[in-house]
Structure 1
Amino acid sequence: MAVRGEPDRAARGDAERRRHDILASAEQLLEESGYAALTVRAIAAGAGVSAGTVYQYFSGKEDVFVALTARRLQRVQAALAEVDRGIGIAGILREVLPEITELWRRLGRSAPQWEAKVLAGGRRSKGVVTSATVYRETLDALAGALREAAEVRGQTLVDDPALPHWVWDALVGVADDLLLGGARQSRVRPERLVEFATGAIERSIVV
C-alpha cells in the first residue's frame, strides 16, 4: 500500500529532473553556439521533452537564460561563503576564480545578451528581476568576503562603491584569458597569471 504523500514526492522529483534537463540542454547550447542557438525547440530537443513541456517551466528562452545565469551566480556565492577569510584577499580571489571561470566558459559568449536583458532598464519578467537580484547579491557577497578578509589581516579597503564591480570585472578578465590561453601565448603559465592578477587586485583595493 502506498504511503500518503509518496505520489506528490514522486511528481516533485520528476518535475525537478525535467527542469534540470531543460537547463542542462540550454547551457550546452549556449556553451557550444551562443545565445542565437537558444530556441525553445532546440532546448526541448536536447532535454528530450516537447516544447510545451519547456513552457510549463519557463515563459520562454529568456527565462531559461536568466535561470541559468542565476544558478551559476549562486555557485559563486556558495564558494564565497565557504572560503576561509584567513587566507587573505588574494587567496579568496584565487579560491573563487574557478567558479567564475566555469560561469564564463559556459555563458561568457552570451554575456552581451545577459547584460542587455538583465542589467539594462526596461520592462522585465519575474525571472529577469530575480537574476538581476542574484547578481547584486553576488557582488554584495564578494564585497563582504573582501572586507572580512581585510579585517582579519588588519587591512583597510578603498572606500568606493565601485570596488566590487571592478574586482568582479577583473576576475572575469582573468577567467577569459585562462579560457582563451592568451597568457600562454607569451609563455606565462596559467598559475602564474592567477597569482600575479589576484595579488595585483589586492594591492589595488587596499589603502
Structure 2
Amino acid sequence: MPDQRTASGARTRQRILASAEHLMRTVGLAHVTTKEIARAAGCSEAALYRHFSGKEELFVAVLRERLPSLGPLIAELSEDPGERTAEESLTDIARNATLFYEASMPIGSSLFAEPALLARHREGLRALNAGPHKPLESLAAFLEGLRAAGRIRADADPGPAAALLLGACYQRAFLRHFMGEEGSPATLDDFATGLTRTLLTGIA
C-alpha cells in the first residue's frame, strides 16, 4: 500500500510539472496561478502544495526537470569529464545552454513587465538557493577546474570566460525568438563549435 501511495504521489507530481510547464509557456510565469496549474493537473491546490512550496519552487523544478539540461550537465562534466577534451566539453555546454535559454526565455520574460512581482520572485529563488546566476557560477568553477588541471591557460580568467560563453548562447536564443530563423543562420552545432573554438583561442 505505501508503494502504491508513493507511485500515485509521483504521478501527481509529474502531472503538476507538465501542467506548470505548459501554462508557464502559454500564459507566462507572471500571470499563471497555482490554482490554474492545479486545475490543469486535475488535482486540488492543496495537493499541489504537498509537492511544491509555491510558484517559485515549481518554476525551478520545471527548469531542472522539464527543460534541456544545463546545470546537471556542467555538474556531470565537473565530476567526471571522461575522455572528453576541453573543446568537446565546452561545445556540449554551449549546445545545451542555448537550448535551455530558448526553452526558458518565454517562461520567465513576463516577469520583467511587473517589477514588484519580479522582486518577489527574486526573493523566492534566493530562498531556494536558485537563480540565473547558478549556471554562470557552475561554469566558472568548471573552467577553474580545467585551469587547475592545465587544460587551459594558467592566466585564463574563468569568470569572464564563462560569461562570454553563456552570454553568446543567451543572445542566440533571444535572436531566434525575436527574429525567427533569420536570427540564427548557423546550425546549433556549428554555432556551439564555433563559439567554443573562438573562446579557447583566447584561453587554451
Give the TM-score taking structure 1 as reference length: 0.70
Q: In the alignment, what sits opposite 2:87?
A: 90
1:94-128 alpha-carbon deviations (Å, 9 max, x no partner): 212343234223321234539x7999699834x64
RMSD: 3.7
Match of 2:72 in 1: 78
Q: SS where residue 109 of structure 1 aligns?
A: helix
Using the alignment, how far apart are the partners of 1:33 and 1:132 within structure 2? 23
Distance 1:130 1:71, change over 3 A: farther
Pairing 1:148-187 to 2, within 5 Å after superposition = 148-150=145-147, 151=149, 153=151, 155-156=153-154, 158-159=156-157, 161-177=159-175, 180-181=180-181, 182-184=183-185
Q: Kindly tell me: are residues 65 and 50 of structure 1, through their superposed partners in 2, closer, same or farther at Cα, counting changes over 3 Å?
A: same
- C-alpha distance 78-47 of structure 1, shift in aligned 2 (>3 A): same
Provide the C-alpha distance between the structure 2 equivalents of 1:59 and 1:144, rounded to a whole number of angstroms.
30
Name the CA distance, whole Å, in 2 between partners of 1:21 and 1:163.
Answer: 39
Q: Which residue of 2 aligns with 1:201?
A: 199
Give unmatched runs, 5+ long, in structure 1: 1-6
The answer (yes or no) to whether the contact 1:100–1:171 under 8 Å persists in 2 is yes
Structure 1 residues 29 and 146: alpha-carbon distance in aligned structure 2, compared to 1, 3 A threshold: same
Q: How big is the shift at 1:75?
A: 3.5
Cα shift at 1:27: 1.0
Deviates more, 1:156-165 or 1:47-56: 156-165
Residue pairs, 1:1-150, within 5 angstroms: 7-71=1-65, 75-83=69-77, 84=81, 87-112=84-109, 113=111, 124-125=123-124, 128-132=126-130, 135-136=133-134, 138-150=135-147
Q: Residues 38 and 48 of structure 2 are in contact (CA less than 8 Å); yes or no, is this contact kept in structure 1?
A: yes
Change (3 A) 1:128 1:54: farther
TM superposition shift of 1:73:
8.6
Q: CA deviation at 1:161?
A: 4.0
Mapped contact 1:76–1:96 kept (Cα < 8 A): yes
Counterpart contact for 2:144–2:158, Cα < 8 Å: no
Tell me how many residue pairs correspond in the alignment: 194
User: Partner amino acid for 2:17?
Assistant: L
Structure 1 residue 195, shift from structure 2 partner: 2.2
Closer, same or farther: CA 90–29 of 1 in aligned 2, 3 Å: farther
Identity among equivalent positions (%) equals: 24
Kindly provide the amino acid, as one letter, of the partner of residue 172 in structure 1: Y
Q: Tell me the SS of whatever aligns to 2:86.
A: helix
- Work out whether residues 22 and 54 of structure 1, in 8 Å CA contact, stay in contact via their aligned partners in 2: yes
CA distance in 2, matches of 1:146, 1:119: 31
Shift of residue 142, structure 1, vs aligned partner: 1.6
